[in-house]
């Protein structure tokens, strides 16, 4: 019987790669719902090819246009719109698996809905765990969901941990985990030179093809900080036992240290189809379309300590994890605002971490007992971040 899927974020890089893997295995997977924000042309092509029962767009104007275009080619896909439709697609009774790949806070409600509905969740949305780690993991446990990480680093950790790992590192003999980082495009750039960085330079990642927001996060190394928080919630590893290792080749995707001195790693070419295929087929293995790693071509692997002084976002993320409760949601919201304003050319590259630090200083940590608390913390951080951005703009004008 075919595995039935909802893909949240089907027109982004993760969604496109997911459909590429599915395309290689006709009959094994059935796409029930495709969800996007505004990329109507790509979603139209996906609907024509995969004929899902449902498609979702961010607003009704675009949804109406898509309905008309699909009707013109006799495609029977039903088109919905808005955030409530995303939640509905995550909860569909006939769906077995939900690919949660919507970037940003918008991806949290449908991912949480999938957890409560007990789905197999392929989690590519960092914010579900960064913003609402305790709430999300509680929903996973109570709903009986199966959580499989898609980030290459967390998927590597999942593969390198014992198959029966239950979240107790001591019981499993786990000493700690090592998250590898490429170092981004500015790995060797002096801090003083970062002030002149342009959005185009920040988005030019040396190894991975990603969206603009994630590319900037890689350039500031905030992506690695967010992954530290994510790893904590996925694997119940304390902050002091999570280490970042800069590994420019992006061949080793992450490692697990054991108390007996062993270190297990997952290696492969830098292609997101590998973790996607691993999670789609788990516990089996299927072809992903990725070429096998040629160790003779790689020849040498290099490792460096991360520079917390040049990349302050790393320290801010560890601080948020240790403070807990609303601090990670505050960090994430401030980062989203700062990155967007940098991409718009309103602030400089080095202003990103300055905005985040000031927001964290101004907003006290509060408890998280509900999704409402999460979004309240998110909204407060965004308001303060926008104020700080405006002050930076005024001073520079």
How close are the terminal C-alpha atoms of the chain, in Å? 62
Residue 35 bridge partners (DSSP) = 8, 56
- For residue 159, tell me if it sits in a domain: yes
Give yes or no for a contact between 217 and 230, defined as CB atoms under 8 angstroms apart: no
* The pLDDT of residue 173 is above 90: yes
Do 158 and 139 share a domain, yes or no? no
Do 13 and 117 share a domain, yes or no? yes
Torsion 372-378-381-386 (CA) sign: negative
Do 120 and 225 share a domain, yes or no? no
- For residue 288, tell me if it sits in a domain: no
Give yes or no for a contact between 200 and 331, defined as CB atoms under 8 angstroms apart: no
Q: Which residue has the higher pLDDT, 126 or 359?
A: 359
- For residue 384, tell me if it sits in a domain: yes
- For residue 293, tell me if it sits in a domain: no
101/214 Cα distance (integer angstroms): 12
What pLDDT does 4 receive? Answer: 98
Across the chain, mean pLDDT equals 95
Count of domains forming the chain: 3
What pLDDT does 204 receive? Answer: 80
pLDDT tens per residue, range 138-152: 999 999 999 999 999
pLDDT tens per residue, range 210-246: 678 888 998 999 999 999 999 999 999 999 999 999 9
Q: State what percent of residues in the chain have pLDDT above 90.
A: 89
* The pLDDT of residue 264 is above 70: yes
**Residue 204: left (phi > 0), alpha (psi -120 to 50), or beta?**
beta
CATH number assigned to the domain comprising residue 393: 1.10.1740.10
Residue 123 — pLDDT band, cuts 50, 70, 90? very high
* The pLDDT of residue 397 is above 70: no
- For residue 318, tell me if it sits in a domain: no
- Closest by alpha carbon to 249, among 211, 311, 301? 301
- Closest by alpha carbon to 352, among 307, 397, 311? 311
Helices 351-362 & 212-220, crossing angle to 10 degrees? 80
Do 124 and 161 share a domain, yes or no? no
Can you tell me the mean pLDDT for 267-291?
97
What pLDDT does 127 receive? Answer: 85
Do 74 and 126 share a domain, yes or no? yes
**Rg of the chain (C-alpha set):** 21
Residue 209 — pLDDT band, cuts 50, 70, 90? low
- For residue 280, tell me if it sits in a domain: no
| Domain end call among 246, 280, 309 | 309
Do 104 and 231 share a domain, yes or no? no
Do 156 and 124 share a domain, yes or no? no
- For residue 397, tell me if it sits in a domain: yes
Can you tell me the mean pLDDT for 157-167?
96
User: Three-state SS across the chain?
Assistant: CCEEEEEECCCCHHHHHHHHHHHCCECCEEEEEEECCCCHHHHHHHHHHHCCCEEEECCHHHHHHHHHHHHHCCCCCEEEECHHHHHHHHHCCCCCEEEECCCCHHHHHHHHHHHHCCCEEEECCCHHHHHHHHHHHHHHHHHCCEEEECCHHHHHHHHHCCCCCCCCCCCCCEEEEEEEECCCCCCCCCHHHHHHCCHHHHCCCCCCCCCHHHHHHHHHCHHHHHHHHHHHHHHCCCHHHEEEEECCCCCEEEEEEECCCCEEEEECCCCCHHHHHHHHHCCCCCCCCCCCCCHHHHCCCCCECCCCCCCHHHHHHHHHHHHCCCHHHHHHHHHHHHHHHHHCCCCCCCHHHHHHHHHHHHCCCCCCCCHHHHHHHHHHHHHHHHHHHHHHHHHHC
Q: State what percent of residues in the chain have pLDDT above 70.
A: 98
- For residue 315, tell me if it sits in a domain: no
Do 94 and 131 share a domain, yes or no? yes
Expressed as residue numbers, the domain containing 328 is: 324-397
| Domain end call among 90, 124, 149 | 149
């Amino acid at each position: 019987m075919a595995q039935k899927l909802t893909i949240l974020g089907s027109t982004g890089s993760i969604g496109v790669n997911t459909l590429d893997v599915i395309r290689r295995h006709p009959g094994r997977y059935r796409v029930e719902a495709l969800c996007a924000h505004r990329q109507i042309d790509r979603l139209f092509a996906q609907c024509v090819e995969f004929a899902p029962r449902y498609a979702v767009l961010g607003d009704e104007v675009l949804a109406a246009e898509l309905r008309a275009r699909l009707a013109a080619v006799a495609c029977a896909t039903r088109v919905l719109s808005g955030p409530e439709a995303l939640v509905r697609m995550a909860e569909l009774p006939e769906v077995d698996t939900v690919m949660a790949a919507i970037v940003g806070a918008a991806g949290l409600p449908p991912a949480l809905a999938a957890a409560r509905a007990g789905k197999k969740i392929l989690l590519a949305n960092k914010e579900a765990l960064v913003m609402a780690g305790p709430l999300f993991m509680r929903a996973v446990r109570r709903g009986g969901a199966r959580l499989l990480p898609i980030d290459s680093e967390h998927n590597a950790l999942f593969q390198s941990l014992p198959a029966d790992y239950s979240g107790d590192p001591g019981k499993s003999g786990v000493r700690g985990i090592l998250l590898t980082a490429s170092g981004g495009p500015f790995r060797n750039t002096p801090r003083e030179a970062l002030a002149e960085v342009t959005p185009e330079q920040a988005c030019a990642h040396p190894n991975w093809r990603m969206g603009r927001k994630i590319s900037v996060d890689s350039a500031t190394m905030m992506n690695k900080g967010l992954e530290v928080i994510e790893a904590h919630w996925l694997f119940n590893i304390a902050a002091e036992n999570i280490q970042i290792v800069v590994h420019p080749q992006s061949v080793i995707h992450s490692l697990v240290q054991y108390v007996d001195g062993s270190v297990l790693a997952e290696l492969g070419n830098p292609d997101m189809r590998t973790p996607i295929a691993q999670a789609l087929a788990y516990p089996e293995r299927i072809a992903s379309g990725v070429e096998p790693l040629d160790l003779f071509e790689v020849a040498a692997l290099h490792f460096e300590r991360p520079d917390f002084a040049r990349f302050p976002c790393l320290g801010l993320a560890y601080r948020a994890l240790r403070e807990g409760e609303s601090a990670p949601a505050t960090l994430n919201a401030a980062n989203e605002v700062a990155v967007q304003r940098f991409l718009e050319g309103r602030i400089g590259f080095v202003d990103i971490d300055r905005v985040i630090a000031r927001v964290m200083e101004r907003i006290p940590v509060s408890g998280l007992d509900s999704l409402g608390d999460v979004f309240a913390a998110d909204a407060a951080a965004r308001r303060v971040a926008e104020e700080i951005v405006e002050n930076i703009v005024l001073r520079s004008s």
